[in-house]
Amino acid sequence: MTQNLDYQAWRVHEQDGKFIGMVETCNTADLPANDVLVKVSHSSLNYKDALSASGNKGVTRNFPHTPGIDAAGEVVEGAGALSAGQQVIVTGYDLGMNTPGGFGEYIRVPADWCIAMPEVWNPHKAMVYGTAGLTAGLGVSKLLRMKVKPEHGKVVVTGASGSVGTVAVELLARLGFEVIAVSGKPDQAGELKTLGASEVVGRDFLAEEKKPMLKPEFAGAVDTVGGAVLSELLKRIKPGGSVSCCGLVAGVEVQTSVLPFILRGVNLLGVDSVEIPPEEKQSVWDKLSGAWACGHTESSARTIGKEELDSALKAFLDGNSHGKIVLDHSL
């Protein structure tokens, strides 16, 4: 039975070329005609949400729109193997891009976007990780699959204080790696050390150099920023080492020669957390809710209500956000 329920959502409107977010009342009858209705209790904030909320048409074409690429909550109307009352996690695909997302208290999505909540998690804990945690987990999994090991040397995390970066730092450290955290925020150095970084360095650590190759210092890296930072990182990776690449905050263009690849066998590994099959997402959720649990990330995450979304999202665009932020719809 299709239900018509009023609910609150943080929706972005386009007004005279400006994009303005506000809490308003919506109705589930206006959600897309997908199989599964989920009552969302929590979402998570990501850089992509900030792009959507600021009118980036590569992310969201039409407004008004409800952002939120992450959602966790309870199935209200099920389909297939999903029944009412089941707790699920929905991340990626088109959620929060052109499909109303987790910044609303209800979403209606295809059944195959929904992943069963790990037994030991609740929606808040799932959203402490969210897409950022999933991405960090995928990036680290790729390094491990390429046989990057702690005994091979130090690993680097760029954009270390960000949502992907903090989880990557804590995860790599708890897997026994010596982690160098690259961060433009000196005030986050203490927090990054608490997460397990052995060293915290400024962004000039990877300043541009003319040479196509530099002293090979690092066994691997999780790069969350791209651009010139990734170019410089590739020059410093040891033979056989690997770099997982997921982000673009420092730029989408990467200038490189073929030398690190053909003389050192360096591997550049792309990470996509959005369109991968649900089983791949599930396998990372299973690890993060078990052996890979990041206790400090869990205890240090900030929780906000819808009214705080505007300023929290602007901080992402200014490069000033840090750590994990959960949206709790009950606040």
Positions touching ligand NDP (CB under 6 A) are: 46-48, 131-132, 135, 159-165, 183-185, 203, 224-225, 229, 246-250, 271-274, 316, 319, 321-322
Q: Which two tokens stand for residue 279?
A: 């089983």
Q: Shortest CA distance to 159 belongs to which of 136, 141, 140, 142?
A: 136
76 burial (CB, 10 Å; 0-12 / 13-18 / 19+) is middle
Q: How far apart are the two ends of the chain, measured CA to CA in Å? A: 29
| Shortest Å, Cβ 109 to ligand NDP | 18
Of the pair 75, 169, the CB lying nearest ligand NDP is at 169
| 278 close to 11: Cβ distance less than 8 angstroms | no
Q: Which two tokens stand for residue 231?
A: 């170019």
Of the pair 82, 225, the CB lying nearest ligand NDP is at 225
Residues 6+ apart with CB under 8 A from 271: 135, 138, 139, 142, 244, 245, 246
| Shortest Å, Cβ 164 to ligand NDP | 4
Of the pair 134, 237, the CB lying nearest ligand NDP is at 134
| Shortest Å, Cβ 49 to ligand NDP | 9
Residue of minimal Cβ distance to ligand NDP: 162
Q: What is the DSSP letter of 306?
A: G
Of the pair 78, 278, the CB lying nearest ligand NDP is at 278
| Shortest Å, Cβ 318 to ligand NDP | 9
| 70 close to 127: Cβ distance less than 8 angstroms | yes
Of the pair 26, 271, the CB lying nearest ligand NDP is at 271
| Shortest Å, Cβ 222 to ligand NDP | 10
